[in-house]
Amino acid sequence: MTITDFPPTSLDHHPRRLPRAGGLAALGQGAAFLAGMVMYVLMIAPWDGYRAPGSSAASNVALVAEHPVELQTWYAVIFIGFGLALVAGTVTLHGLLRERAPGWARAQTALGTIWATLMFAVGMTAIAGVDMIAGLADTSPADAASTWLSLDLLLTGMGGGIELVGGLWVAAVSMGALRTGLLPRSINVLGLLVGVIGVLTTTLVLADELTAAFGVGVIAWYLASGIALLRRSTRSN
């Protein structure tokens, strides 16, 4: 057995439960993204400068030292919380797609597993990194700045600056759903567009704009997919 093959579970034998579980997982993923954006706007953006283009390592270290709990909470939501919902969604989608689109079911399972792994790794490292930077800020500013630069690189490369894996996962799910009719065509088209945007973030051309577009687009896709799957579960017999 590989990471792309799961044995049948009790959910597979209840037509309503599998779409319902998938719908709740999709809404959970969208909620984690949305909560992260709201937290950023209300809590972090007012700090004026955290991870802003051109900001110095010293200024970011000062903000980390001043707001460690807020940052750790934010990272827990956008990485750990999202990762948990992503695992649930990936497993459930495998069950929904594997009979009529086995190739796409395996592809999304592999990509979803990779994405979730990245989210947990980045999230736990970010939470520990904030604690380390805050502790070094007063005693060893140079080490704190160096640690901050390493953390910033990790966050940019694997935690949201480049959305390659996420884009490929959304595209794989959308292709499988398009082939099976699992989701309405309009939602699948949106998913493919979001997937392309995610892949394009790898070029680092208009990086901030494309990353923002991916974030907004994937929230819309998650919420629409979740609602569609929940409606599907109510129609199942």
Instruction: List pLDDT tens digits, range 20-53.
Output: 999 999 999 999 999 999 999 999 999 878 888 8
- Give the number of domains in the chain: 1
Residue 7 lies in a domain: no
Residues 6+ away with beta carbon under 8 Å from 89: 22, 25, 26, 28, 29, 112
Residue with tokens 């010293």: 58
Specify if 236 maps to a domain: no
Average of per-residue pLDDT values in the chain = 91
145, 58 contact by CB (below 8 A): yes
Identify the pLDDT of residue 123: 96
Residue 197 falls within a domain, yes or no? Answer: yes
Q: What is the pLDDT of residue 12?
A: 47
Confidence of residue 15 (pLDDT cuts 50, 70, 90): low
10 Å Cβ neighbour count for 203?
10
Q: What is the pTM of this model?
A: 0.89
Distance CA 77, CA 80 (A): 6
SS3 181: coil
Rg over CA atoms, the chain: 19
Structural domain boundaries, residue 201: 16-227
User: Residue 9 domain-assigned?
Assistant: no
Comparing CA positions, the residue from 50, 117, 125, 131 lying closest to residue 84 is: 117
Q: Is residue 63 part of a domain?
A: yes
Does some domain include residue 233?
Answer: no
Asked, for residue 35, whether it belongs to a domain, the answer is yes
Pick from 14-23, 149-158, 205-214: least confident: 14-23
Asked whether residue 6 is assigned to any structural domain, the reply reads no
Per-residue pLDDT at 116? 97
The confidence band for 14, taking pLDDT boundaries of 50, 70 and 90, is: very low
